[in-house]
Amino acid sequence: MSDLACPMCEMTEVLTHPGHVECVTCGHEWQDEAPADESATARVVKDAYGNVLEDGDIVAMIKDLKLKGSSDVLKVGTKSKPIRLVDGDHEISCKMDGIAIGLKACFVKKVVG
């Protein structure tokens, strides 16, 4: 046992491996060394309902959105191809209805399954 605690379940029963640490209770793995800078950690992007989004997730629109510079409208329930999280004013880069677009996470919900 060690003085390390799992960041997910906060239990102290962890196994140390070369380069990473594993929680015995929940199985969560993380890097052995803490990052030197707090800004180096990955940011968390959440959808309109608070679900954490990751690269490769499928999302659906929760409201109609008119696309700027076009007469097209993305309707409620329109599903995306697998998304990619990006930095900038829009958190999500994806394709919907064959159009490559950037979306803010507050206009989508994660599709489970």
Q: Which CATH number fits domain 45-110: 3.40.640.10, 3.60.70.12, 2.40.160.60, 2.30.30.40?
A: 2.30.30.40
Distance of CA 47 to the CA centre of its chain: 9
Q: Which tops the pLDDT comparison, 87 or 33?
A: 87
Residue ranges per structural domain of the chain: 1-38, 45-110
32 pLDDT tier (thresholds 50, 70, 90):
confident
How many CA atoms lie less than 13 Å away from 5 in the CB half-sphere?
5
Q: Report the pLDDT value the prediction gives residue 1, as an integer from 0 to 100.
A: 44
Whole-number average pLDDT of the chain: 86
96 pLDDT tier (thresholds 50, 70, 90):
very high
